[in-house]
Every structure is written in structure tokens, then in C-alpha cells.
Amino acid sequence: MVDEGEQKLFVNRWGESSGAEPAGRESRQEICRCFEQLKPHPRARVGFHTERQDTSAPGWQHLVELIDEAAADGREVFRPLVELSPAERRQVVTLPPSIGKLTAVKHLVLYGSNLVRLPPEIGAMSSLEEFTPYTSYRLHWFPYEITRCTRLVRSTVSTRSLFGNHKLRAPFPRLAPARGSVEDLDTTSLDARRWGTTAVSSCSVCDQPIEQGGLHPAWISLRVATDVLPLLVNACSPQCVASLPHAPEGYVPSAHTGGRVSRPAADWD
């Protein structure tokens, strides 16, 4: 019990993870205007962030080094952004595929990042138990491959920034039409405006090389650890899309391609 007049102190859960810049210094994040994240009924059409990662940027090179260090020493908690300057943070819009090497990491902290997408290789983090991308306001969706992190039980996500969030009813971007073959498509250099991601190498569902089949993108909302997340699936066939699980109550129940989709009546109460 706190005596009247006594000040109560609150602990900042993420104090050592935020790496907050002093007042007046350069911001570590770009401003996101995709949709209004504080009030309901955002605009009917939204799109993907289309920035491509500049792999020559100092921030990216620094992050690659930090991942290599973490893989070498087998650490269980990885907070890479606190090691980057605000300018370097702004240069990082995704994570390197080498993030999949961190098989010993149990807690991945990406508090206050400037990320707009995550690589599917995050699904290789087999020991991951806790995921904290909190206040990463430009991160509106996640790769379906994160469901391969079978030990993941805790997450802290800014859910008002997510496509399909049941509180704000933010719409999903419309995905590119499915293709039965990728022979005439460079899957190593995709247009993020149409596909959401810049590269696809294997099926999100069966993990087979994508060049052996087609490319069938889909959205599905599933509970991952603590939160229901919008997941982007890049499947190799209609059969893989059909095998996806059903969404929780209150969300679009099955896989869809975005745009104007019918939602459960309860979602509009």
C-alpha cells in the first residue's frame, strides 16, 4: 500500500531495450502514415511499405556483424538495436536472412525499430520463446514462417499498427494475382508494392523451392504467442493455401488475398 502523498514509481519494462535518443537528437524511426492507428475505421485502401534494403548502408553492415557475434557466442537474448545509432536504425528496414543462424536466442527484442518487413528466415530461430517488436509502428504484418518457431509463447506487438486488427479494422493490401509458374518472374527481386516482400525462395507452407511450382500469395490471421498477427503466405500451390488453419473468431476465417473482404459480423460491433 502506498501512503497518501508518497510518489509511486513505475518500472520501464523496456528501458534497456529502447535505446531512446536524447531530446533534440535524430529520430530512429520514419513516420508511418499508412493508416490512422489511433482511431477506428481507417481508409478503405492501404498499401505496403516499398523501401528496399540498402545492404551497403552502415546500419545494415553493423547489424550483420551483431548477428554474426550473437551466433558465435550462443547468446539467449538478442537486442541488436541498442547497439545502433539513431541514424543506423533508420537505415534498417528488414533483418538479414542470417537471423536464422540465431538458433540459441530465446528472446528477440526489436523495440522501436524502423522495420517494414521481416525475412522468412526468422522461422529458423528454433529456440525463440519471446518476441518483442513493440512500438515498431511500420511493421504491419509478419511472414507466415514465424509459425515455425514452435517454442514461441510470449510476444509484445503494437497491435494497432497491424493490418486486419479487430479493434481498428484496418484493411489488408490486395495481393498480386496467383501464378501457376514463376518462369517469367524474378523471385529474387520482387516489387514490394505488389508482393509485399522483395524476394521469395521457398514455399511458406511446405518449404519446397518456389521455382518448382507457382506463387500463390495469401493472407491469414493466426494467434502467434500472445497476439493474433496478420501473416503473409507465399505458397507454391493452391493445395498449400487450402491447408492453412482457420483464423480465430472475429477475424477473416480463412486465407484471402486482401482488398475488400467479408469479415465476421462481430468484428463490426
Q: Where are the alpha helices (DSSP H) in 8-99?
A: 15-18, 58-73, 86-90
Q: What is the pLDDT of residue 33?
A: 81
Low-confidence ranges of the chain (pLDDT < 50): 1-12, 14-15, 20-25, 265-269
Q: What is the pLDDT of residue 1?
A: 42
Q: What is the pLDDT of residue 106?
A: 98
User: What is d(CA 123, CA 185) in angstroms, rounded to the nearest whole number?
Assistant: 25
CA pseudo-torsion sign 227, 89, 105, 150: positive
User: What is d(CA 232, CA 139) in angstroms, rounded to the nearest whole number?
Assistant: 12
pTM of the model: 0.87
Taking CA atoms, 221 is separated from 147, 177, 227, in Å, by 11, 19, 10
Q: What is the pLDDT of residue 240?
A: 97
Taking CA atoms, 143 is separated from 22, 58, 86, 119, 218, in Å, by 33, 26, 26, 7, 11
Q: What is the pLDDT of residue 136?
A: 96
User: For the segment 135-190, what is each residue's pLDDT rounded down to a tens digit?
Assistant: 999 999 999 999 999 999 999 999 989 998 877 778 899 999 999 999 999 999 99
Helix (H, G, I), strand (E, B) or coil at 22: coil
The bridge status of strand 107-109 relative to strand 142-143 is unpaired
CA 260 from chain center: how many Å? 22
Contact 155, 131 (CB under 8 A): yes
Q: What is the pLDDT of residue 58?
A: 98
DSSP single-letter state for residue 48: -
Residue showing cell 482457420? 246
